[in-house]
Structure 1
Amino acid sequence: MMSTETRERPAAPQTGAAAPPALSPTIRSEDVGLRSLIPYLNGYWRTLGTVAVLSLVVTLLTLSQPVLIRDVLSDIQADHHVGGLVALLVGALVAVAVLSGIRDYLLQRVAEGMVLSARRRLVERLLRLPIAEYDRRRTGDLLSRVGADTTLLRAVVTSGLFDTVTNVVMVGGSAVMMFLIDGPLFAATALGLGVGVLAVVGLSRRVRGASREAQDRVGEMTSAVERAISAVRTIRASGAEQREAVAVDGYARHAYDAGIRIARLQAMINPITSTTVQVAFLVVLGVGGARVASGAIQVGDLVAFLLFLFTLWFPLGRALSAYSKLQTGLGALHRIEEVLLLPQESDTAGDAVSAGRLTVRERIRSDEPRPDGEQLPPALEFDHVDFGYGDGETVLRDVSLTVPRGTRTALVGPSGAGKSTLLALVERFYDVTSGVVRVDGTDVREQPRRTLRHTLGYVEQSAPVLAGTVRDNLALAAPEATEEQMRGILRSVNLEDVIMRAPLGLDAEVGEGGVLLSGGERQRLALARTFLAAPPIMLLDEATSNLDARNEVLMRDAIGAVSADRSLLVVAHRLSTVVDSDQIVVLEHGEVVAMGRHEELTDSSPLYRELASHQLLIK
């Protein structure tokens, strides 16, 4: 039977009604601005310069069109030839269309590159977060930041930043031309526009906070969906589909409500925008018509002014809309920056490690002659180790034990005794609260994590199998392994016939999480993956819990064969798999309560005797 002990720490309840914890904010909203975009744009400055030049040319050509139209009207009134002016006007229109297309294409490339850069940085950070960070966070929310939030960054460059800048330039140029045509008419128009613009800008600034909240709610919903899908078989077997659907619907409702708040802001912006342009148009017609009647300006000037008004207003409307999208993108950028500012698991060694010192693996495997009588340190040593997960609970108390070289030590005891935690401390998924864990006589904190883990082979209790092929899984820790080596290691765990019966052999897909394999096959594949890497020290956490009696015997033989020149630390609930171990350590409530061989412990340890009798190993 599969053990329910996964990490020997009380798990937080994850009922359908429980709200998933949000990522703790590490930065303020005001700390995330356009300056935060700079790292994502590195490598694109030349392209952005080209886009800026094209935008300036397009703006100048667009601003020239009302002037050309005014001159055409004036020449028509004066009965002059207008062919040259019409050709210039058509040329300006065509040039604007072509250059705008080129500019937009380049801008989209920059935006896609920025999204790629953000995703690369996020994935790199997520894969290197300390293990404790994964304990505190929901996978779905982290995935939402890689997918949905990075997608929103595209709008920051395309519809946000450059649209805002280029349209503001267009608005400025149009305003200057309108002022030059008629100052009093421009003043009256600007007064009508100014009130509406200020109102829209004020509302747009509120969109940023609302957008961030909406993305948080989407992250919560994604977490709920991911939770349900990952346990879909258990949910269906429990008849809990409807309850889970209701729970996910609650998160979806929260996301809906957040989206409605954004829609409400947008709904206020659009009427203000349209009303403002209508007021400005009526002002120009009224005041401009009066000035034409008084002879202050000509009809052609009024027509040009009206054209510049539209040349001003449409870019102004786009700029205001782009500003709103920019705030949405900056809200997403805030969530991305939160992850990027999380601490990264360090791979540096402590001060005691010198540049010339041999690595642990080199020392363990070194065949250099040693002085007579030199005592080699044990493969593993726990020296008065205390540990707690940071929530006030102490998991291990004053644990001291050694794993001599070339021997097998088994950790046994009730669930929650701290057995799996000891393996996690060796791997430095966590660091001890006090005491020392040593590998080959060296404090694990004085070894770079990459070097240390290269020395260790670790098979988790859940025996995870990655989506992909059998070959992909075997090559995870041994990418240089040949096909013959892979087949040989599969043979050693009694899995070769199962795998090679498939038409694709080593290239057969194992499914998401290895769902196309049985529990025992997944466990044997996980063991094969570790055996193939041939580490000098192996950490096995319930490595045979899913195996039937026949495969358990074969696996014990395989472990015995590969452990001939290696050191093993094995966690076991089924004592039958470890009764022949060189040393058995009995743990209870995070403390070592007994230590010895099977025969010794049945006489000296009441707890071990109770465990053995329950499993029918003794009468």
Structure 2
Amino acid sequence: MKLIKKFIPYYKPYIGVFLFDLFCASVLSIIDLAFPQFLRILRSTLFLEEPKVILSRLGILALALIVMYVIRYLCRYYVTYQGHMMGARMESGMRKELFDRYQAFSFSYYDTHNTGEMMSKLVSDLFDISELAHHGPENIFISVVKIVGSFILLLRINVPMTLCLVAVVICMAFFSISQNKKMRATFSDNRKKIAGINSSLQDTLGGIRVVKSFTGEAIEAEKFDRSNIAFLDSKNANYRRMAWFHSGNNFFEGLMFVTVLVAGGFFIAKGQLTGEDLAIYALYINIFINPVNVLVEFTEQLQKGLAGFERFTEVMETMPEIVDKDDARELKDVKGVIDYEKVSFAYGDEEAVLKDIDLHVEAGKSVAIVGPSGGGKTTLCSLLPRFYDVTAGSVKIDGTDIRDVTQKSLRSFIGIVQQDVYLFNGTVKENIAYGRLDATMDEIVEAAKNADLLEFIESLPNGFDTQVGERGARLSGGQKQRIAIARVFLKNPPILILDEATSALDNESERYIQESLDKLSVGRTTITIAHRLSTILGADEIIVLDEDGIKERGNHKELIKKGGLYEKYYRMQLGAV
């Protein structure tokens, strides 16, 4: 009931369509109930008249029935079309809500949740919710109207026989309720298992190049088989429970006909029921049983929809860890002074990755961060755009705590070039202009020129309109990196983060990319994470960071003279001072 109460408000924007849908559903039910009653009335009135009278009135009767079924046709059309569209619009709105909530989550959420599972919630779960949104109220309403209406009419024909029928229905209801609880658990397990398949599939297809290069097809097939078989086992339990549910209800439906036949024969023998009334009674039994069947079938749909909605609400009720303050202001006129003051950070309940870090960077200066893997270099840089929030201390830009400004304005002043470049499946132009959709073609061309990319783009068959493929699969590593650099040139931020931007490239590509990065860094406050020390020799300050914090700081010459950790790294890489 708690889930249903949470679900009801989603009907509010479509209340007009919803109410008229129920009105049309009630008209359908009334027309279905009316036909046997017409037959009963005609049997005792018109059909007892002379043949001439019957023939003279058949045209009017046919016209009245045709009008009735035209109305039924129009109502059915509305219920089928507008009712389904209402469900589809609700699904679309909920999908937008879920997508927006996913985008609001910080990196920590994505560190612990799989993309395939999130996609399953966006697609499969919401489809089941949509079907429930449309068919749920409609099926319940039609069924209740038909059951109550036919029940009243059955009572008018024969009360004792109808009471016998009610006893069977009550037993059927208790059986359905008991099975329903067990069935819901299996549907919930189904949702988890199909999410597991999506997760396995996304993981394999996303890393297909690694899979093939290491001939890991058999490994991936085994992993997929495990999740696939787990889903099959879950389906097996689900279908077994459904079989109990449906076969049990079919048994009770059979009992209803047995009850009518036996009780009808008994009351005919007692002179309390005529054969004609029993025939009419049998017609109403079909009308009575049909909505019962609908409710039984709907129970399966209800459990699927509620299982999906439960997973939907789990996400929607998960609050983003990083949110703007109510009084957060826009960050403006950034010069680029950066301060880390007593900064500590830990991932969840794990041991702190950063401890009491103090770092000051003047506007327009360049700082390089080096150190062993796992020392917290990338984490330190991720705190600046608030991809994570500090556990203790503060990060400031131009003296303003970044938690006091909006995330959007903060990130608009920071450009990031990473080692693992992500390009969207679109054109070269769309990828360069990703951060500035309002950019003119001249500005996009200028950004490409600054990134030394223009000559390459002009050599492509479709120039700037050339498709790059999924994740930029049609381009080399250096070409993708240059597009990423052009993207930042176009954004033109005062603060720049270079996260091992050249470490995955060959020496020649690295040299050209480094020239582009040097050009990009001019006039900007730049923080560079580097494994290749040859790329940071000209940095204003070099920070040596490990798991214990900042070990050394100074420019290249100063750190070489110290003969410490930096000098050790430098000799290991280059072999000489």
Q: TM-score, normalised by structure 1?
A: 0.88
C-alpha displacement of 1:618: 2.1
The answer for the alignment partner of 2:320 in structure 1 is: 344
Aligned equivalents of 2:525, 2:326: Cα separation in 1: 25
RMSD: 2.0
Aligned equivalents of 1:105, 1:348: Cα separation in 2: 42
Which of 226, 230, 253 is matched with 1:254 structurally?
230
Q: Deviations over 1:212-252 (max 9, x none)?
A: 11101111111111111111111111121112111111111
C-alpha displacement of 1:91: 4.4
CA separation of 1:76/1:295 partners in 2, compared to 1, >3 Å: closer, same or farther?
A: farther
The answer for the alignment partner of 1:327 in structure 2 is: 303
Q: Does 1:391 align with 2:362?
A: no
Q: Deviations over 1:67-112 (max 9, x none)?
A: 1112333347634544255554454445334422322212111111
The answer for the alignment partner of 1:174 in structure 2 is: 150
Aligned equivalents of 1:142, 1:540: Cα separation in 2: 30
C-alpha displacement of 1:602: 1.0
The answer as to whether partners of 1:594 and 1:605 remain within 8 angstroms in 2 is no
Aligned equivalents of 1:277, 1:384: Cα separation in 2: 73
Q: Which amino acid is 1:68 matched to? A: F
Which of 436, 447, 455 is matched with 1:489 structurally?
447
Q: Does 1:42 align with 2:12?
A: yes
Q: Does 1:62 align with 2:32?
A: yes
- 5 Å-filtered alignment, 1:240-319, equals 240-319=216-295
The answer as to whether partners of 1:350 and 1:446 remain within 8 angstroms in 2 is no
Q: Which amino acid is 2:85 matched to? A: R
Q: Relative contact order (alpha carbons < 8 A, sep ≥ 6): 1 or 2 greater?
A: 1
Q: Deviations over 1:89-138 (max 9, x none)?
A: 45444533442232221211111111111111111111111211111111
C-alpha displacement of 1:197: 3.1
Aligned equivalents of 1:441, 1:78: Cα separation in 2: 98
The answer for the alignment partner of 2:132 in structure 1 is: 156
The answer as to whether partners of 2:342 and 2:393 remain within 8 angstroms in 1 is yes
The answer for the alignment partner of 1:22 in structure 2 is: none
Aligned equivalents of 1:520, 1:39: Cα separation in 2: 51
C-alpha displacement of 1:363: 4.3
The answer for the alignment partner of 2:427 in structure 1 is: 469
Q: Which moved more, 1:497-506 or 1:95-104?
A: 95-104
CA separation of 1:360/1:90 partners in 2, compared to 1, >3 Å: closer, same or farther?
A: closer
CA separation of 1:434/1:345 partners in 2, compared to 1, >3 Å: closer, same or farther?
A: closer
Secondary structure of the residue aligned to 2:353 is strand
Aligned equivalents of 1:446, 1:71: Cα separation in 2: 78
The answer as to whether partners of 2:22 and 2:141 remain within 8 angstroms in 1 is no
Which of 93, 101, 104 is matched with 1:125 structurally?
101
Q: Which amino acid is 2:333 matched to? A: E
The answer for the alignment partner of 1:517 in structure 2 is: 475
C-alpha displacement of 1:455: 1.3
Aligned equivalents of 1:542, 1:363: Cα separation in 2: 25
The answer for the alignment partner of 1:102 in structure 2 is: 78
Secondary structure of the residue aligned to 1:476 is coil
Q: Which amino acid is 1:546 matched to? A: A
The answer for the alignment partner of 1:579 in structure 2 is: 537
CA separation of 1:347/1:190 partners in 2, compared to 1, >3 Å: closer, same or farther?
A: closer
Q: Does 1:226 align with 2:197?
A: no
Aligned equivalents of 1:438, 1:617: Cα separation in 2: 38
Aligned equivalents of 1:495, 1:567: Cα separation in 2: 24
Secondary structure of the residue aligned to 1:143 is helix
Aligned equivalents of 1:390, 1:185: Cα separation in 2: 67
For this pair of structures, how many residues does the alignment match? 571
The answer for the alignment partner of 1:71 in structure 2 is: 41
The answer for the alignment partner of 1:528 in structure 2 is: 486
Which of 369, 372, 376 is matched with 1:411 structurally?
369
Q: Which moved more, 1:152-161 or 1:332-341?
A: 152-161
Secondary structure of the residue aligned to 2:30 is helix
Which of 453, 457, 465 is matched with 2:411 structurally?
453
Q: Deviations over 1:319-366 (max 9, x none)?
A: 121123112211110001111111135442486x6x6xxx544142xx
The answer for the alignment partner of 2:387 in structure 1 is: 429
Aligned equivalents of 2:403, 2:443: Cα separation in 1: 33
CA separation of 1:213/1:397 partners in 2, compared to 1, >3 Å: closer, same or farther?
A: same
C-alpha displacement of 1:504: 1.7
- Greater helix percent: which structure? 2
The answer as to whether partners of 2:425 and 2:470 remain within 8 angstroms in 1 is yes
Which of 32, 37, 47 is matched with 2:3 structurally?
32
The answer for the alignment partner of 2:458 in structure 1 is: 500
Q: Deviations over 1:444-468 (max 9, x none)?
A: 1222211111111112331222221
The answer as to whether partners of 1:384 and 1:399 remain within 8 angstroms in 2 is yes
CA separation of 1:529/1:346 partners in 2, compared to 1, >3 Å: closer, same or farther?
A: same
Aligned equivalents of 1:346, 1:400: Cα separation in 2: 22
Aligned equivalents of 2:63, 2:401: Cα separation in 1: 82
Secondary structure of the residue aligned to 1:218 is helix
Q: Does 1:598 align with 2:518?
A: no
| Gap runs ≥5 in structure 1 | 1-29, 365-377
Q: Which moved more, 1:191-200 or 1:209-218?
A: 191-200
Aligned equivalents of 2:61, 2:180: Cα separation in 1: 41
C-alpha displacement of 1:540: 0.9
Q: Which amino acid is 2:491 matched to? A: A
CA separation of 1:321/1:151 partners in 2, compared to 1, >3 Å: closer, same or farther?
A: same
Q: Percent identity?
A: 28
Q: Which amino acid is 1:245 matched to? A: A
Which of 147, 159, 162 is matched with 1:183 structurally?
159
The answer for the alignment partner of 1:372 in structure 2 is: none
| Gap runs ≥5 in structure 2 | none
Aligned equivalents of 1:155, 1:492: Cα separation in 2: 52
Secondary structure of the residue aligned to 1:392 is coil
The answer as to whether partners of 1:467 and 1:512 remain within 8 angstroms in 2 is yes
Secondary structure of the residue aligned to 2:545 is strand
CA separation of 1:93/1:206 partners in 2, compared to 1, >3 Å: closer, same or farther?
A: farther
